[in-house]
């Protein structure tokens, strides 16, 4: 058995497709993901230039002007403010030297040149000022004795709200892409399984023909192929996890043993799917590869590889797909470890994957064992 496994490993390591798609391609894609949006939280936004036009000489106008100046003086350098008259301000807006015009009067207002990120920032600033002013007016009307304390608290305002999961861990909207990427890498084990099936069916390759005429029991051949395929692909996924964690410095809050367990089961589902489809279908090699690639990419797409909200869309409209989609189950298991902190959901996803893998493996064994040839 060990002798068979040793030569199985040598054969697989000399196959380019078994190294590139399950190992190299996920690493390359992870690098692209990282540079595309993996560090978006650290991106620097350009300072937004704005113009202020004082329409009236009033306390309200002065208060709004001071509010904008305080934002300009903040360390975030969110905006730069220039005072102009109406004519100069309109010219600056038309020449795109300013993203918007704030009118400081009894009722502050905003004029922008279009719709975009800068305009949204300016609108948010105006709404923030209006909300603060309304709050102060309500306090002055209901509890005038507390107006001084309210002013001090608003001056010392800090952002105290952050998005966290029920388990208390900070959520990251981009994490879904990387979890779906790991799921895709697990599914790509189907290419290793496909290669294993080629070495077990005498009508497909010369190597398989030579193996089938040997006195070695077919069960040993099948088990050695499956074990070596699982082992090689599990190493591929471990390399991907280590690359994400220690090279790209992605934060995985879950315990590594649990992540390795999910990866191992994911590798089993990928390899067993490849062996089953390759052994059960009588179509040509190109058609089989197309089927495997199509299934892997559709499952990964529905798990959120291309669109982080796709899995939620499926959950709302057809949740049964997420219960049988192996890529979605793998991604969900990683979420349960790193974000949800939901042991029950984690066990359900893992158990479903194990059952699916067992069914595919048994099906592959039954199909290959019953193969008979008139001549080789």
Residues 232-271 pLDDT 10s: 999 999 999 999 999 988 877 667 899 999 999 999 999 9
Cα separation of 361 and 244, whole Å? 30
What's the confidence (pLDDT) of residue 258?
92
pTM of the predicted structure, to 2 decimals? 0.66
What's the confidence (pLDDT) of residue 216? 67
Contacts 24+ apart (CB under 8 A), 30-38: 30/178, 30/181, 30/240, 30/243, 30/244, 30/248, 31/248, 33/177, 33/178, 33/181, 34/248, 34/250, 37/174, 37/177, 38/174, 38/178, 38/248, 38/250
Instruction: Give the model's pLDDT for residue 138.
Output: 75
Q: Which of 54, 81, 87 is nearest to 68 (CA)?
A: 81
Q: Say what the pLDDT of residue 180 is.
A: 93
Report which of 81, 90, 271, 299 is spatially closest to residue 184, judged by C-alpha positions.
299
pLDDT band at 44 (very low <50, low <70, confident <90, very high): very low
pLDDT in tens, 103-143: 988 888 899 877 777 887 888 888 888 887 777 777 667 76
- The pLDDT of residue 162 is 47
Q: Could you tell me which residue, 340 or 67, shows the higher pLDDT?
A: 67
Residue 115: per-residue pLDDT: 72
Token digits of residue 344: 């029950």
pLDDT at 43 over 70: no
Hey, what's the torsion of the CAs at 173, 176, 178, 179, to 10 degrees?
150
| Mean pLDDT for the stretch of residues 355-367 | 90
pLDDT at position 132 is 77
Identify the pLDDT of residue 137: 74
Q: pLDDT band at residue 160, thresholds of 50, 70 and 90?
A: very low
Q: What is the pLDDT of residues 143-153, one digit of tens each?
A: 666 556 655 55
Tens-place pLDDT, residues 172-227: 557 788 999 999 999 999 999 998 888 776 566 666 656 665 656 667 777 788 88
Statement: residue 304 has pLDDT above 80: yes
Q: How far apart are CA 64 and CA 54, in angstroms?
A: 10
pLDDT, residue 12, reads: 77
The span from the CA of 137 to the CA of 122, in Å, is: 23
Average pLDDT, the chain: 81
Query: Using CA atoms, how far apart are residues 115 and 130, in angstroms rounded to an integer?
Result: 21
Better pLDDT: 154 or 264? 264
In whole angstroms, what is the distance from residue 90 CA to residue 87 CA? 5
Q: What are the tens digits of pLDDT across the range 273-302? A: 999 998 887 777 889 889 999 999 999 999
Q: What mean pLDDT comes out for the span 81-85?
A: 91
Rounded-to-10 torsion of CA 78, 82, 86, 92: -70
* pLDDT, mean of residues 33-49: 66
What's the average model confidence in pLDDT over 25-41? 79
Banded pLDDT at 1 (limits 50, 70, 90):
low
The domains of the chain, with CATH numbers, are 2-39+170-369 (no CATH), 46-155 (3.40.190)
């Amino acid at each position: 058995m060990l002798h068979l496994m040793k030569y199985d490993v040598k054969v697989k390591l000399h196959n380019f497709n078994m190294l590139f798609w399950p190992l190299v391609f996920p690493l390359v894609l992870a690098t692209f993901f990282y540079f595309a949006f993996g560090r978006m939280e650290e991106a620097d936004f350009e300072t937004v230039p704005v113009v202020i036009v004082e329409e009236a000489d009033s306390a309200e106008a002065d208060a709004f002007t001071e509010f904008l100046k305080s934002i300009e003086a903040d360390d975030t350098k969110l905006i730069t403010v220039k005072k102009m008259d109406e004519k100069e301000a309109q010219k600056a807006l038309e020449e795109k030297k300013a993203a918007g015009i704030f009118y400081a009067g009894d009722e502050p207002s905003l004029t922008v040149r279009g719709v975009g990120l800068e305009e949204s920032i300016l609108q948010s600033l105006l709404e923030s000022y209006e909300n603060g002013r309304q709050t102060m007016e309500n306090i002055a009307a209901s509890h005038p004795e507390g107006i001084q304390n309210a002013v001090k608290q608003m001056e010392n305002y800090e952002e105290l709200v952050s998005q966290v999961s029920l388990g208390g861990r900070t959520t990251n909207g981009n994490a879904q892409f990387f979890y779906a990427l790991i799921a895709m890498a697990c599914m790509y084990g189907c290419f290793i399984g496909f290669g294993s099936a080629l070495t077990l069916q005498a009508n497909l390759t010369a190597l398989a023909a030579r193996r089938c005429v040997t006195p070695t029991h077919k069960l040993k051949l099948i088990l050695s192929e499956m074990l070596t395929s699982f082992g090689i692909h599990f190493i591929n996924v471990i390399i991907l996890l280590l690359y994400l964690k220690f090279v790209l410095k992605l934060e995985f809050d879950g315990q590594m043993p649990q992540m390795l367990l999910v990866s191992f089961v994911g590798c089993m589902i990928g390899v067993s799917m490849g062996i089953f489809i390759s052994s059960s279908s009588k179509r040509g090699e190109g058609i089989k590869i197309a089927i495997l690639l199509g299934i892997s990419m559709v499952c990964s797409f529905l798990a959120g590889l291309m669109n982080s909200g796709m899995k939620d869309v499926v959950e709302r409209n057809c949740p049964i797909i997420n219960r049988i989609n192996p890529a979605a189950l793998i991604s969900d298991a990683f979420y349960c470890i790193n974000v949800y902190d939901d042991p029950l959901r984690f066990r359900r996803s893992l158990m479903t994957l194990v059952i699916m893998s067992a069914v595919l493996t048994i099906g592959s064994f039954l199909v290959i064992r019953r193969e008979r040839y008139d001549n080789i």
